[in-house]
Amino acid sequence: MYPLALVAIFALLLCLERFLVLSYRGHLSRRFIKKLGKLVKETKYEDAANLCLKKETSLSMVLFAVLNRARETREDAERSLQEALLREQPKLDRRMGLLAAMGTIAPLLGLLGTVTGIITLFTVITEVGTNDARVLAGGISEALVTTETGLVIAIPVMILHGLLSEKIEKVTSEMYVQSMALMNKIFGKES
């Protein structure tokens, strides 16, 4: 049960950390977007780029990559955008594999606890012997508690993993949408 408790605590902390990071890295206020749009409309690209650098979110870093190449060609800006997207995506995906592993490990640890408990029960029965079925059933019941606990931990962890993965997709999609909108504002809709 101790390893299961550690997995539960670690998975909970990991979910909380990922949620906070994704909420911060994927958010830009409407006020920021409005101010950025105004600066771009006035072709104050350097001021707009500096505004993006102040935020330090994934979305602002991607927009900075476009603004940094605003005085060059669209192709240069697109290459810079792709580099920024490739740089920011791992920051969003970080530790998601570990969280999925926690959801997979929990039921396996529970099963391991059940097997260990049953082995211990049969060892005691072999040494002491028993004619009482209630003792046997009680020992098996106690051993199965670890499997139940493993599943109780794994199911919410996998649900949270799914929700966080969805949040990552939303942030990534927003990065693409905002960056392409900015590209179109700066370079026009023609490629």
Q: Rounded distance, CA 19 to CA 17, Å?
A: 5
> Would you kindly state where each structural domain of the chain is located, as residue ranges?
13-94+167-187, 100-165
The reported pTM is 0.82
The pLDDT > 70 percentage for the chain reads 95
**Residues 99 and 15 sit within 8 Å (Cβ to Cβ):** yes
List pLDDT tens digits, range 132-164.
Answer: 667 677 778 777 898 999 999 999 999 999 999
Give the chain's mean pLDDT: 88
Please report the pLDDT score of residue 29 as a whole number: 82
The Cβ of residue 133 has, within 10 Å, a number of other Cβ atoms equal to 8
Please report the pLDDT score of residue 191 as a whole number: 45
Structure tokens given for 101: 């592993």
DSSP H/E element including 68: helix 58-68
List pLDDT tens digits, range 54-113.
Answer: 888 999 999 999 999 888 888 999 999 999 999 999 999 999 999 999 999 999 999 998
CA distances from 179 to 10, 27, 45 (A): 35, 14, 14
**Residues 12 and 160 sit within 8 Å (Cβ to Cβ):** no
Lowest mean pLDDT among 11-20, 74-83, 88-97, 118-127: 118-127
Task: Report the sign of the C-alpha dihedral through residues 156, 161, 167, 173, in that order.
Answer: negative
* 185 burial level (CB within 10 Å; 0-12, 13-18, 19+): middle
Please report the pLDDT score of residue 120 as a whole number: 80
Judged against a pLDDT cut of 90, whether residue 119 lies above it is answered with no
